[in-house]
């Protein structure tokens, strides 16, 4: 199954992708995670991407497309994958279609997870991630047992650099202007399904699995 997860920042793409990995035994490809790792490792690419990400804008298509193309060639993508946070604009979606056509393996489904703007702000300002194992928490909705400490590995919980209120507003604007049109793009291709992203994580996962069939 070759899946694109669509949804605004904070819609729960990463959260649902983690559950899909287990159920379908296919990898999650999060361009955001790949870029954040490059930033943390201080690679030339990371240095180029950092300022753009901290502003809440999109990293240039050329960089992201190169990353995705390389990742899709890897062995673990043979049986499918979950693209999370990619594509992010029409140019990326068209480039992905071309890439997949040449591989003879087009997308199976684009699944949109829909959440209202007011909920998104709280989810994003409350998000905390374990520096060590990447487990995600939320100070409002799913806090760790001990503040600032991961329940799973006792690692330190950190806040993403772009989860500040001003940057979140920018990310939501960028989503509306550049990414939301992809709902129409995939709708016209006949591979779009949408689920409500409101409710408990497990409730939403039931909807996601039903949509995937
Ligand atoms: P990226 O990492 O993709 O961030 P995003 O799209 O802004 O999405 P998020 O990761 O913030 O949200 P999510 O939907 O994954 O939600 P999550 O599951 O974490 O991109 C970051 C940056 O990288 C971009 O701004 C850009 O600069 C760059 N970039 C990335 N891809 C790019 C591309 N293709 N092109 C160009 N630039 C690119 O959940 C959020 C919170 O809510 C968590 O705390 C979670 O615990 C909580 N939560 C989840 N579900 C629920 C629920 N049901 N109820 C209550 N709380 C919930
Ligand atoms: Mg994410």
Dump pLDDT digits (tens) for 181-199.
999 999 999 999 999 999 9
Phi-psi region of 79 (alpha: psi -120 to 50; beta: other; left: phi over 0): alpha
- Protein residue closest via CA to atom 55 of ligand 1: 141
Tokens encoding 136? 């995600």
What digits encode the pLDDT tens for the residues 20-47? 999 999 999 999 999 999 999 999 999 9
- pTM metric for this prediction: 0.96
Q: Catalytic residue, from 36, 123, 171, 207: name it.
A: 171
Active-site annotation holds for 207: no
- Protein residue closest via CA to atom 34 of ligand 1: 86
Bond before 163 cis per omega within 30 degrees: no
Please tell me if the CB atom of residue 171 comes closer than 6 angstroms to any atom of ligand 1.
yes
Can you list the domains of the chain with their CATH numbers?
2-26+79-116+177-212 (3.40.50.300)
Supply the DSSP string of 157-198, one letter for each residue.
EE--TT-SHHHHHHHHHHIIIIITHHHHHHHHHT-EEEEE--
Alpha helices in 73-153 (DSSP H): 90-103, 117-126
Of ligand 1's atoms, which has the minimum distance to the CA of residue 55? 27
């Amino acid at each position: 199954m070759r899946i694109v997860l669509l949804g605004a920042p904070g819609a729960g793409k990463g959260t649902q992708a983690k559950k899909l990995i287990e159920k379908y035994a296919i990898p999650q490809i999060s361009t955001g995670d790949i870029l954040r790792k490059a930033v943390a490792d201080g690679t030339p690419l990371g240095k180029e991407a950092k300022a753009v990400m901290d502003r809440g804008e999109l990293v240039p298509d050329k960089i992201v497309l190169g990353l995705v193309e390389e990742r899709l060639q890897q062995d673990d993508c043979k049986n499918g994958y979950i693209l999370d946070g990619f594509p992010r604009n029409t140019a990326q979606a068209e480039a992905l279609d071309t890439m997949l056509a040449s591989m003879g393996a087009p997308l199976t489904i684009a699944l949109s997870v829909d959440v209202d703007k007011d909920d998104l702000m709280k989810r994003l300002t409350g998000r905390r991630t374990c520096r060590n194992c990447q487990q995600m928490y939320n100070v409002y909705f799913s806090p760790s047992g001990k503040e600032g400490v991961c329940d799973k590995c006792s690692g330190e919980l950190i806040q993403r650099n772009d989860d500040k209120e001003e940057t979140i507003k920018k990310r939501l604007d960028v989503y509306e202007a550049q990414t939301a049109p992809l709902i129409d793009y995939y709708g016209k291709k006949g591979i779009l399904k949408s689920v409500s992203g409101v409710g408990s994580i497990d409730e939403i996962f039931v909807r996601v699995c039903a949509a995937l069939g």
